[in-house]
Structure 1
Amino acid sequence: MKAKIFAAIAVFPFVAACGGGHDDPCKQLTSAGFVPCTPPAPSTKVDTSIPEGIWGGGTSDGLAVSTLVLETGQYFIVPTSTNGIGLVEGMMTGNNGNISDPAAVIYPASNMPVAGTLSGNFSAKKTLTGTVSASAALSSPFPSGATSSTFNGNYNSLYDSPATVAEAVGSWTGRTSGSSVTLTVASDGTFSGANAGCTFSGNVSPRSTGKHVLDGKVTFNNSACVLGTGASMTFEAVVSGNQLVGAGVTQQRDHAFVVVATKN
């Protein structure tokens, strides 16, 4: 009896060692004996990067486009034409080089906001392409009646250098969404401006991320302004050479503030 017990005990070290060598395949013990293990499926890593930065390009309809994507995922696409300035705003997400936003808002130059979606893809700090689709027919600067627009962009390395208020100091002339605008920025970042009887004022300062973006706040000063006296909203601005592009939306996303101007 003792001999049998010892023989059984002697087997255990052999069983435990089976498959333990570096060159042996993994095996597991079943009622049918040792069979190969089923290795776990490899995990698929999702790259959630977004095309953060400043992008310049155009649309399939021949419009010039300036695009800003913040580190938060919020983006501002500003198409321009001789007929006006538009805006697409939203919060995008990334998935292995693809971007999407199911809740974009499109602001034609003179119409009410239109719900939309954004889809596209990008190569980091190189190129960006996308399609904006609308739930209703659009108007200027988008082609009248259009329900979608495809755009592209090339990365502007200016984004990687800090912005300064000094770049914005001076007088500017350009357009808002529906009319001409004048703007004057002082050395302390305060500004004042006017368009179509509406006067406004506010301030800008460098974004804390160290990127080439100015954070701004604008307050509308009289009843000629769409939002009325005393209403205010935040916006982002980019100065590149003698061009300034600023864009922001209200918290309710029912109105937008868009400016494209050239330094005088």
Structure 2
Amino acid sequence: MNWNPSLTSCAALTACLVGCGGGNATPGGEFVLGSTTTTLNNATTTTQLTPGQAQGVYEGAASNGRYFNTLVLDNDQYYILYGTLSGEVFSVAGVIAGTGQASNGSFASSDLKDFPAGGMPLSGTMSATYAPGASFNSVVTRGGAAVTFSGVVLANTSYTYNTPARLAEVSGTWAATALTGESVSLEIAANGTYAATSLGCNFSGSFVPRASGKNVFNFTASFGPAPCVLANQTVTGHAVTYLLGNGKRQLLVAASDAARSVATLLAGIR
């Protein structure tokens, strides 16, 4: 997912954070079944919304050559993690996040935020089509440029979205990498709580299996004092883990603060 490398750069941040411009949507906001009404040439049409129909984890190669994983939740919140794939190691270069609306095979989002490593965030929009549990094909437009992400369910992994997340699959020690390249040491207890450190910044939080029974964890991180960039602040988000074809396990975490002004991203493999 090779976004324009000439983007305005921002300083690398301690404890796996990228600082970005604010937004109005709150991560984790729940959608309820509803409808939208459109009036065109004095004719009114009503579109029935179907939240959760697009949910799942999808992978593929974007139109710019970048590898990606897309996570769409049961409330139509989504993340697109993009980067490079070497062998089976996913090196993440950025994350796109937002909330959308699903309706009969179509998906739309107007609050998209792209958080690239080393760059300022960009706002944009998404339009997508989906086949429930099979594919999610999106066109992301931001900064005047459009990139297509054609995704299908994860191949060559043990991952099944429609099974409950298991803490036993994430507990233990992880050597992870932050979006800005810092190493992060992560120790996750059997109950999902964890302690972590990166470049002198200590933070802690939890991985909690989602109440929906899907194979996704709700994630929180509370940061300590300086040198943490988000000193004494908390971010929330989601995480997935899956066993790769080579027997190693991948952990992917994406989160932001409530104002969506900064994004946190962790990628670990063990």
TM-score range, shorter chain: 0.7 to 0.9
Task: Give the match for residue 93 of structure 1.
Answer: 101
1:95-137: CA deviations, max 9, x gaps?
331111011111011222211111111111111111111136x
**Unaligned ranges ≥5, structure 2:** 1-44, 86-90, 244-248
In the TM superposition, residue 226 of structure 1 has moved relative to its aligned partner by: 2.0
**Higher RCO (CA 8 Å, separation ≥ 6 residues):** 2
Whether 1:183 and 2:186 are equivalent positions in the alignment is: yes
Task: Give the match for residue 170 of structure 1.
Answer: 172
In the TM superposition, residue 45 of structure 1 has moved relative to its aligned partner by: 6.9
Residue 164 to residue 172, structure 1, CA distance change in 2 (3 Å): same
Q: 1:154 aligns with which of 137, 152, 155?
A: 152
Task: Give the match for residue 126 of structure 1.
Answer: 134
For the residue of structure 2 that corresponds to 1:212, the secondary structure is coil
1:197-225: CA deviations, max 9, x gaps?
33211111111111101112111123122
Q: 1:249 aligns with which of 245, 256, 260?
A: 256
For the residue of structure 2 that corresponds to 1:166, the secondary structure is helix
Counterpart CA distance in 1 for 2:160 and 2:130 is 18
Counterpart CA distance in 2 for 1:190 and 1:148 is 39
Counterpart CA distance in 2 for 1:246 and 1:134 is 23
Counterpart CA distance in 1 for 2:233 and 2:208 is 20
> For the aligned residues, what is the CA RMSD?
2.2
State which structure, 1 or 2, has the greater radius of gyration over its C-alpha atoms.
Answer: 1
Q: 1:214 aligns with which of 214, 217, 226?
A: 217
Counterpart CA distance in 2 for 1:61 and 1:196 is 33
Counterpart CA distance in 2 for 1:60 and 1:231 is 36
Alpha carbons 2:59, 2:68 under 8 Å: kept: yes
Counterpart CA distance in 1 for 2:227 and 2:120 is 18
Letter of the 2:128 partner, please give it.
G
Q: Point out the structure with the larger strand share.
A: 2
State, as a whole percentage, how many aligned pairs show the same letter.
30
1:35-57: CA deviations, max 9, x gaps?
xxxxxxxx987463541111122
Letter of the 1:177 partner, please give it.
L
Q: 1:260 aligns with which of 256, 259, 267?
A: 267
Task: Give the match for residue 67 of structure 2.
Answer: 64
Alpha carbons 2:81, 2:92 under 8 Å: kept: no
Alpha carbons 2:47, 2:103 under 8 Å: kept: no
Task: Give the match for residue 80 of structure 1.
Answer: 83
Counterpart CA distance in 2 for 1:212 and 1:187 is 17
Whether 1:199 and 2:202 are equivalent positions in the alignment is: yes
For the residue of structure 2 that corresponds to 1:159, the secondary structure is coil
Counterpart CA distance in 1 for 2:150 and 2:197 is 32
User: Which stretch has the larger CA shift, 203-212 or 179-188?
Assistant: 179-188
For the residue of structure 2 that corresponds to 1:122, the secondary structure is strand
TM-score if structure 1 supplies the norm length? Answer: 0.73
**Unaligned ranges ≥5, structure 1:** 1-42, 137-146
Whether 1:55 and 2:63 are equivalent positions in the alignment is: no
Alpha carbons 2:61, 2:151 under 8 Å: kept: yes
For the residue of structure 1 that corresponds to 2:213, the secondary structure is coil
In the TM superposition, residue 62 of structure 1 has moved relative to its aligned partner by: 2.0
Q: Point out the structure with the larger helix share.
A: 1
